[in-house]
Amino acid sequence: MRVPVLAPTLLFPSVMAVTLTNLTVDDTDLNYFWWSDAVANTPAWTAITPETPCNFCSAQPQPKSIHNRTWHDGTQGGVGQLTFIGTAAWIYGIDLANGGNISFSVSGVNKTDSHYYNGDEQFVFNSLLFSVTDLPTDPDGNPRNHTISWLVEKSSRNGTTALFDYAVIRVAAQMPSNSSSSTTPDSGHSKPNAGAIAGGVIGGLFGVLLAILALFFCRRRQQALTRDMPSKEDVRPYVDEPSELGAPSVSLAARTRPLSTPTQGSSTFAGSSFLSAATIGKSALPGTVGRTKMFDTSSTSPSESLPSTFVASASTSTSANVTPSTPTAPPSALSFLISPTDEGDHERRTIAPTVVSAREQFLEQRLAVLEEHVRELNSAQPPPAYENQSSPSSA
């Protein structure tokens, strides 16, 4: 997952915003000031310092009241410029009685102005000659290069002298001072702002750190979601596996073998699963009184052994004595073959093995035992023919 790195200016606008400060520039700093020389009809400016006083100048102010004890003395026709990179500027000088008129203009800005002192005081120190603020800047907020020009003209009182002392400019912070400045008015370029560079570096480092943290937390969250999701190996389709007793059932009627066909004159026992002692007694022949027939009615279960087999005794009387006998093993419930007992029996076939439940096995085993006893009764002697005997009431 890719996380975009935000620009430092978006993350830290206060860090990247340009910080402005006021810088005082002395008239002797030629990195900012330019003074015309004596060329043709243009008079030269006189730079006055404690080391180079002007004895022939008409104006002789007290140096101790002047910034850095230096100033420039100009006369009618004198031209000067202040070039800087900033957003505002204030030019200060020394007003004097019967001074000249000074006209100002700013490059790239529709602003012109003039200064004239009409007072009676001989000298006014730190007098504001011209000011301009809110100068245009670059789109990123950095100050632009600007030039302020002036011309000394004759005043209405025939004054022709102008005295310039210093200027204050509003520039980006950490601008180079007079001693370390390498900016020239002609080039219009200044040294890189160390404060802006430091702020940019710090903002960039914070931006990279935030991007790394965001990427780290996104990966942690993605790994947590991956751990919570089940793997493909764990997902298995649900299979309803039948239990031992719940196997698919097969119709008992489809697996039940038909009973043997009785001979002519015999009673039909097909479909019956229970033989009572009374029925057996009625089916006994007259010559078979006292004879005993064994009926194996044993039952089995999947988990227990076969119960005791009960023997039903059939006689001429209607009573039936049931006595336990030794259990015999039941025939197979899945595959067995019964041979026909007489010509009237239908052909018996072997049932193919199939999946049956424990209860169905038990029922098949019990049914097989009952069928075997029925065949024994039918093969011994057919039952007597039905005689229509009148009831005692009709007699």
Asked if residue 19 is part of any domain, the answer here is yes
Ranges 10-19, 24-33, 280-289, most confident? 24-33
Please check whether residues 177 and 270 belong to one and the same domain. Answer: no
- Classify residue 60 by its DSSP letter: -
Task: Quote the pLDDT of residue 143.
Answer: 93
The amino acid sitting at 267 is S
* 16, pLDDT greater than 90: no
Last residue of a domain, one of 202, 230, 263: 202
Phi-psi region of 234 (alpha: psi -120 to 50; beta: other; left: phi over 0): alpha
- Whole-number average pLDDT of the chain: 70
Same-domain status, 164 and 54:
yes
Same domain, 67 and 143: yes
63, 101, 146, 332 from 178: Cα distances, Å: 20, 29, 18, 121
Q: Which of 49-58, 220-229, 280-289, 378-387 has the lowest mean pLDDT?
A: 280-289
Range of the domain at 323: 248-383
Binning pLDDT at 50, 70 and 90, where does residue 18 land?
confident
Residue 208 placed within a domain: no
Mean pLDDT of 270-288: 40
Please tell me whether residues 133 and 49 are part of one structural domain: yes
With CA atoms as reference, report the closest residue to 119 among 143, 93, 98, 89. Answer: 98
pLDDT digits (tens, 9 = 90+) for 321-337: 444 444 454 554 444 44
Q: Are residues 157 and 280 in the same domain?
A: no
At residue 184, the pLDDT reads 39
**Domain annotation covers residue 240:** no
Would you say residue 290 has pLDDT above 60?
no
Using CA atoms, how far apart are residues 177 and 127, in angstroms rounded to an integer? 23
159-163, 244-248, 314-318: segment of lowest average pLDDT:
314-318
**Position 218 in a domain:** no
One domain, residues 192 and 67: yes
- Considering 147, 169, 202, which residue would you say is the last residue of a domain? 202
pLDDT of residue 232: 55
The answer to the question of residue 171 being in a domain is yes
Per-residue pLDDT tens for 100-151?
999 999 998 888 999 999 999 999 999 999 999 999 999 988 999 999 999 9
- The tally of CA atoms less than 13 A away on the side-chain side of residue 238 is 1
pTM, two decimal places = 0.43
For residues 299 and 309, give the distance between their C-alpha atoms in angstroms, rounded to a whole number. Answer: 8
Tell me which of 148, 175, 202 is where a domain ends.
Answer: 202
The residue with greater pLDDT, 342 or 99, is 99
Instruction: Please name the helix (run of DSSP H) or strand (run of DSSP E) that holds residue 125, with its range, or none.
Output: strand 123-132
Half-sphere exposure of 17 (CA within 13 A, CB side): 7
Q: Residue 89 in contact with residue 131, Cβ under 8 Å?
A: yes
Tell me if 395 is assigned to some domain: no
CATH code of the domain covering residue 67: 2.60.120.260
Shared domain for 69 and 190, answered yes or no, is yes
Q: How far is CA 244 from CA 20, 253, 331, 351, in A?
A: 92, 22, 21, 22
pLDDT band (50, 70, 90) for residue 220: confident
How many structural domains are present in the chain?
2
d(CA 112, CA 196): 33
User: Which has the closest alpha carbon to 168: 134, 196, 111, 130?
Assistant: 130
Look at residue 360 and tell me whether its pLDDT is greater than 80.
Answer: yes
